[in-house]
Amino acid sequence: MKILKVGICGWGNVATGLFRAVNENAEAIKLNSGANFSIEVIGARRDNPECDPGKTLIERDIFAVLDHDIDVVVELIGGVEVARELILKAIKNKKHVVTANKAVIYHHGDEIFQSARDHGVRVLFESSVCAGTPIIKLLKEELAANKVSKISGMLNGTSNFILSNMEEGEDFDATLRLAQEEGYAEPDPTFDIEGMDAAHKIGILSSLAFGTALPPLDFHIEGITKIDKSDFHYAMDMGYTIKHLAVAKIDNGMVELRAHPALINLNSHLANLKGVRNGMEIDTDLIGKIHIAGSGAGQESTASGLISDLVHLYFSIDVDTSSAANNKINPPMSDFSELFFQYYFYIEALDIPGVMASITSLLASRKVGIESIVQKEELSRESVPIILITDPFKEADHSLLCKELLNLDSVRAIRSIRIEAE
């Protein structure tokens, strides 16, 4: 029986999860897929007390893994530049590559894939987006006959976990600490909560769906740190909840990319995805709208995606890829400032006569229509929250409107969140 010989580079949580899954579920993998793996060597700079590698050979130099008789390198060291060097060296050594590293794919994917084509090997990265939820293969293979026009949804499990808990009334800081305690967030969570992780992922999906080169990170990226738990209360009163959305859309040959918090309808499919779950809606021409959801974080989920790539390699490892076409295009990016959005505004204002009139008058002068406006219960003796939903208006006018609202003598603070059109 053919055996796929595997070398793992890295020995953190994901690597140990993969090691356990391959060894503990070996019979199930053989029964379900017919594939047979053997982990021959592990590149580990230090031991991991959470997992005993048994008799598996350990190399303290991760690059030494490439010197062994293996078919595939599983890159799980994280980071960008060292990972890039390792992957390119593996490719030159005629080793296939499996990775869960979305950052290295985003920043160096075009170079890596071209090198793989030149050397006749494969680079698979299912777990780089949505962990084990199979969206990469879905776009590359199952939907190959379809024209995809839009992808939208939640791509960061940490952010969705935090926002789900805030929806239940928890504070941001307390929920972030809980996410860290549960292993859903890193000690430094900046990459997740400021939107960069989701941005990398939607850039990768955009490239796969639209056949474009990997885009520069100059599209609109916004995190969740400015959202207050009270925003959920007000939003839900109006039939919305708040999610961190990543959106890729192609229209008239232009690509729209963005990642930011948004109000979405409570009755939508995405609104019901809680905790660390990821979920995407994919608009296609042949089979309509597709919904896909699953765990977006966690050792086991990521291991599932890595093993799916190994199974794929097991049955395709002898296929010649050297002549694979590279037909990537570089369409223009939509100007975010020219897009139109409805907006939710939270306005903390002094409880004095004429406040509502001054706010509505300012919006009218800017030709911004109001869909609904309501004054809520007092925050204190002196101030009240005013919640309004605008008609769609141009993004370029949003920042100016915020500044002008804050310049009103009666306004103390404002927050605003885009509303995603259904």
Q: Are 370 and 416 in contact (CB under 8 A)?
A: no
Q: Classify the phi-psi angles of 211: left when phi > 0, otherwise alpha if psi is within -120 to 50, otherwise beta.
A: left
Report which of 47, 54, 49, 48 is spatially closest to residue 22, judged by C-alpha positions: 54
Name residue 374's amino acid: V
Report which of 46, 51, 43 is spatially closest to residue 20, judged by C-alpha positions: 51
- Helix, strand, coil proportions of the chain in percent (round to 5)? 40, 25, 35
Collapsing DSSP to helix, strand or coil, 326 comes out as coil
How far is Cα 114 from Cα 139, in angstroms, rounded to an integer? 19
- Please give the positions annotated as active site: 201
How far is Cα 351 from Cα 353, in angstroms, rounded to an integer? 7
How far is Cα 420 from Cα 231, in angstroms, rounded to an integer? 16
3-state secondary structure labels for all residues of 30-56? HHHHCCCEEEEEEECCCCCCCCCCCCC
How far is Cα 15 from Cα 116, in angstroms, rounded to an integer? 23
Q: Are 11 and 4 in contact (CB under 8 A)?
A: no
CA angle, residues 338, 156, 297, in degrees to nearest 5: 165
Q: For residue 68, give Cα distances in angstroms to 6, 40, 124, 262, 421.
A: 10, 8, 20, 49, 53
Q: For residue 73, give Cα distances in angstroms to 41, 68, 411.
A: 10, 10, 58
Kindly give the pairing relationship between strand 96-99 and strand 72-75: parallel
3-state secondary structure labels for all residues of 268-281? CCHHHCCCCEEEEE
Q: Are 206 and 257 in contact (CB under 8 A)?
A: yes
Q: What radius of gyration do the chain's Cα atoms show?
A: 24
